[in-house]
Amino acid sequence: MDRYKIIKFLNKGAFGKIYLVEERNTGVKYALKSINIVNLDYYTKSSILNEIRILIINNSEYMLKCVDLTIYKKKLCIITEYIDGGDLTDLKKNKKTLSNNDIEKIYLQICAGVNSMHYNHIIHRDLKPANILITKDGIIKICDFGISKQIINGRGARTLIGTPYCMSPEILRNQYYDYKADIWGIGCIIYFLVNNEYPFDGRNISELKQNILTKNPKYLNNNTLHNNTLNNFINEILEKDKHKRLNIKEIINKNINEIKKHNIQIQNQKYNNYDINMIPYTETDWLTVVKRIVNDNNLLSSDKKLPKIHKERKPPTINENPPIPTMSPMVPLPKIHKERKKWTIKEHPPIPTMSPMVPLPPRMKPRMKPSNEINHRERRYLPIASPNNNPPPARPPDRIKHNQPYIPIERQPIPPKIHQHSNYKFNEFRQKRYKRQNDAEKNLGYYNCGTNFYRNNNIKWVLGLRQY
């Protein structure tokens, strides 16, 4: 990317932005299309590579060509020719009325570019005024080959794709279509140049589709600049039946005199057979694909190295041989006598004296486990020892906790089971009744028996109570 200098921003396309750049060495201006290669789906990648392929292999004067290709900061940079006049929509904004001669020159150049594509079995599928670039000298360039398709073995396409205003009836009917779909697009471009609008319109897509399939183009303006032959030619191209519609060869043969008049060259040459068989997924894959494309097609940034030229080595002469170094005579080395060190005997250190004997303290006897020790699992059920050393009571039931002493508790009377009745109020009444009977059995007295004292309590008990 150091080879080019960005001058200004031009436009924004479907996949990226377009800038005007200048080559630093030559000063030639080019158009740079920047596409972000991160998070692209499979269809977008294939359409980008398809556009690059057609930009490189085409040899027509009326089709845009790729000059260079590189990757900079995770963006694919496609460098193409710079067209200084913009597209046909910009032309109509600046110059609303065009002469018959200008319109004739424009659409015949479009037919020459489309003829080159059809000769190589390629259909554009998106011919519209925005995809036709024009220079200030009036030379056009067809661009945007992203959805172009190559027809193999005469089999057409069936994909519903393109701009709705310029889509042919067979595409809208989801039928098989071929080169005649591009002829419909040429008719829409000519109609736009004459009337500054598209031949069919609608408030929504469904209404637009219905108008294209059923209605005729809107009434052409009665302008003296446009003769009836041009209007008739538009009606012949915008034929709804693709079998009756003119093909590109018939259009060229019909306007052969005008083609010679405007000095338009019709080229029937085969493109170079080049295919991009790899779909990149990572940035490294993109770098590999771009480098392969650049080197295979000898683009500006091609890094093909010339073969190295090996110089012939001359055989060395006798005079050039270096002199053989002579060895110096052997001189014996002087002997070095080292004196051995004499051993020195040192006196042995004095032996330390022992301290007087001190009797050891009495050894503690280990605590012995008594033979009548109870297992720790049964220990929790033992009661706390009483001060009178009375024998412990019997083992309590399991509901007594292990950290509480056993205390004899009177057995509580179990309340009678109440029969569950379907009526809730009746069951509640029976529960109150059993409660009162239990209270009377415990001799709780008169005050806790309720209002029906004689009814709820035993009569003999009541009579015995009255004697006191």
Confidence (pLDDT) at 217? 85
| Predicted pLDDT of residue 240 | 92
Residue 398, amino acid:
D
Q: Render pLDDT for 55-109 as a digit per residue (tens, 0 to 9).
A: 999 999 999 999 999 998 889 999 999 998 889 998 888 887 788 889 999 999 9
141 pLDDT more than 90: yes
Q: What pLDDT score was predicted for residue 99? A: 86
The pLDDT mean for the chain works out to: 77
| Total-model pTM | 0.63
pLDDT digits (tens, 9 = 90+) for 186-202: 999 999 998 888 999 98
170 compared with 353, residue with greater pLDDT? 170
The answer to whether the CB of 87 falls within 8 A of the CB of 18 is: no
pLDDT average, residue stretch 130-152: 90
- State the pLDDT confidence band at 216, using cuts at 50, 70 and 90: confident
Q: Which residue has the higher pLDDT, 317 or 239?
A: 239
Q: What percent of the chain has pLDDT over 70?
A: 64
Question: Higher-confidence residue: 206 or 222?
Answer: 206
Between strands 122-123 and 149-150, the pairing is antiparallel
Residue 63 β-bridge partners: 142
Average pLDDT over residues 334-361: 69
Supply the pLDDT for residue 306: 34
| Residue 411 reports pLDDT greater than 90 | no
Q: Is the pLDDT of residue 146 over 60?
A: yes
Q: Does 409 or 150 have the greater pLDDT score?
A: 150
Domain 85-270 falls under CATH 1.10.510.10:
yes
Q: 206: helix, coil or strand?
A: helix
pLDDT at 232: 84
pLDDT at res. 361: 67
Instruction: Output the CA torsion 32→33→38→42 (10° steps).
Output: -140
Residue ranges of the domains in the chain? 1-82+272-301, 85-270, 425-468
Inter-helix orientation angle 100-119/228-237, to 10° = 30
Which residue type occupies 8?
K
Residue pLDDT, tens place only, 294-307: 888 888 766 543 33
> Is 291 buried (19+), middle (13-18) or exposed (0-12) by CB count in 10 A?
middle
Token couple for 368: 């012995």
- The answer on pLDDT for 426 being more than 90 is no
Q: Look at residue 229 in the predicted model and tell me its pLDDT.
A: 76
pLDDT reading at 163 higher than 60 = yes
One-letter identity of residue 299: L
Q: What percent of the chain has pLDDT over 90?
A: 32
* Confidence at residue 466, expressed as pLDDT on a 0 to 100 scale: 52
| 228-237 vs 180-195: helix crossing angle, rounded to 10 | 150
pLDDT (tens digit per residue) in 440-463: 555 544 444 444 555 555 555 555
pLDDT of 23 above 60: yes
- Please tell me the predicted confidence (pLDDT) of residue 33: 92
Query: 3-state secondary structure string, 229-289?
Result: HHHHHHHHHCCCCCCCCCCHHHHHHHCHHHHHHCCCCCCCCCCCCCCCCCCCCCHHHHHHH
Give the whole-angstrom CA distance, residue 105 versus residue 423.
102
CATH number of 1-82+272-301: 3.30.200.20
Residue 424, exposed/middle/buried by CB under 10 A (0-12, 13-18, 19+)?
Answer: exposed
